[in-house]
Amino acid sequence: MSKSGGWLAVVTVLGALLLPFWAEYAGEPFILDVIIRLMILAIAASSLNLILGYSGMVSLGHAVFIGIGAYAVGIPAYYDLNSGWLQLAAALGASGCFALLTGLICLRTRGAYFIMITLAFAQMMYFIFVSIEEYGGDDGLVIYSRSEMGPGVDLDDNSQLYFLVLFCLIAVMILIHRLTRSDFGQVIRSIKINEVRMQALGFDTFRYRLVCYVISGMICGLAGWLLGNFTGFISPEMMDWTRSGELIAMVLLGGAATVVGPLLGAGIFIGVETLLPEMTIYWHLYLGILLIIVAKFGRGGLLGWWTRWQGRSRP
């Protein structure tokens, strides 16, 4: 990270730490909700970035892990099991298992087949939850009480939830930063560039990709756990494939294969989603046009633009 980047990070984190106090002071609690959602989506997008950006596995079903994580809050809560640690373990365990099982099949394929198979498995979970009437089916399930994390912590207090989400986001970003610069990360990035060569060098590339896929799924499950707590309502709609498409859009808007990109992308996405509907009810039209422009001209996303612009202004 460059020196100015480091300063920017410190300022951002400080600002994020002070935000709840400012929101209360200014009487704008709505801001806090927007930022919590932004950060949760940033965690999910970061997890997708790990497989999509760093290791070239384009998954179009990543939102399924958000759904699994959220149902890991909702289903125990339905039976009055409100322990947050239990729910968190369930979220990470279930999303990890799902990633492992589907990964064993998905990762046998490449390119377009991989895209469609991840999509299909996500859709499968979607329809399974639609068909289970016990947990609300299509209508979803209301979570009446947020996770109980132990004495002194009360997630019903929005600012405490905010700090938890912020903590998770920072932890995930540090984890991904470390991971992608480790030996493991080097292998994963190299597989993206030339898998056959890595195999020739003696790496079991299938296993590396599988481990990467499972880690990514579990991080996204964490995001689902947070989202279930935040919204207090879960439904199969959370893992609809359009949600997965939105996650891809976030990664590409911000800049794939960068640690900060998904956060920026989630920021842009939330910005569009919050501001545009106030101007026109047909705001999806403009979002669609934005996505096409990014696909056509926006190589590297916002971060890519920034680096190229810096490269031009400095001789």
Minimum separation from the CB atom of position 264 to other proteins (A): 16
The neighbour count for residue 187, using CB atoms within 10 Å, is: 19
Alpha-carbon Rg for the chain in angstroms? 20
Between 107 and 168, CB nearer to other proteins: 107
Minimum separation from the CB atom of position 58 to other proteins (A): 5
Between 93 and 245, CB nearer to other proteins: 245
Phi–psi pair at 313, nearest 5 degrees:
-75, -20
Per the listing, tokens 């991971």 go with 179
Residue 291 identity: L
Between 93 and 137, CB nearer to other proteins: 137
Between 135 and 163, CB nearer to other proteins: 135
CA distances in angstroms from 279 to 31, 273, 293, listed in the order given: 19, 11, 21
| Interface positions with other proteins (CB under 8 A) | 52, 58, 60, 105, 108-113, 115-117, 119-121, 123-124, 127-128, 130-134, 241-242, 245, 248-249, 252, 282, 284-285, 287-292, 294-296
CA atoms within 13 A on the CB side of 26: 11
Minimum separation from the CB atom of position 25 to other proteins (A): 38
Minimum separation from the CB atom of position 236 to other proteins (A): 11
CA atoms within 13 A on the CB side of 11: 6
Minimum separation from the CB atom of position 290 to other proteins (A): 7
Cα dihedral 134→90→270→127 (10° resolution): -40
Between 236 and 267, CB nearer to other proteins: 236
